[in-house]
Amino acid sequence: MAVDELDTRILRLLLEQPRTSVREYARVLGVARGTLQARLDRLERDGVITGTAPSLSPAALGHPVLAFVHIEVTQGHLDDVGDALAAVPEIVEAFSITGGGDLLTRVVARDNAHLEDVIQSLISLPGVVRTRTEVALRERVPYRLLPLVESVGRAAGN
């Protein structure tokens, strides 16, 4: 999907001012409200905009420990284990991967003892062979998309 300069400006506003109205976005961008709404609809339809939910902090919800757990799965059980992971509330993301392990999960916990309990529950899942855990010490680059949006916008302008 091609993203042009106006799309890039729209995406920048959405990231920088997520609680602003469509009318205000249109005013700031100097475009008609209908034009802006059509662009937003297309960006959603094309999968560029994937949601409008607020960004939440697991730490503020009482889960300050972040770990990345690699899970090795018995051959032929990847889907079953993936489905089982979806039932574990402390797993906030899970990906099939190449390299060491079959799945990479992002796990949050109240403390290290709680993290150990979560890991033990993962090890007991049918199809899980072993896990390897890496605990995050400090976030160095927070999740962000604005630099990518700006890069795509620059490329679209060339």
Indicate if the pLDDT at residue 3 is higher than 90. no
Rounded to 5 degrees, φ, ψ at 2 are: -85, 130
Indicate if the pLDDT at residue 63 is higher than 80. yes
- Give the tens place of pLDDT for each residue, 86-133: 999 999 999 999 998 999 999 999 999 999 999 999 999 999 999 999
Alpha helices in 48-109 (DSSP H): 78-85
Q: 54: Cβ–Cβ under 8 A, 6 or more apart, which residues?
A: 18
d(CA 48, CA 3): 9
d(CA 8, CA 95): 28
d(CA 152, CA 18): 20
Q: Which two tokens stand for residue 110?
A: 């109240």
Q: What is the pLDDT of residue 44?
A: 95
Stated pTM of the model:
0.86
d(CA 89, CA 63): 11
d(CA 141, CA 17): 20
- Give the tens place of pLDDT for each residue, 9-24: 999 999 999 999 999 9
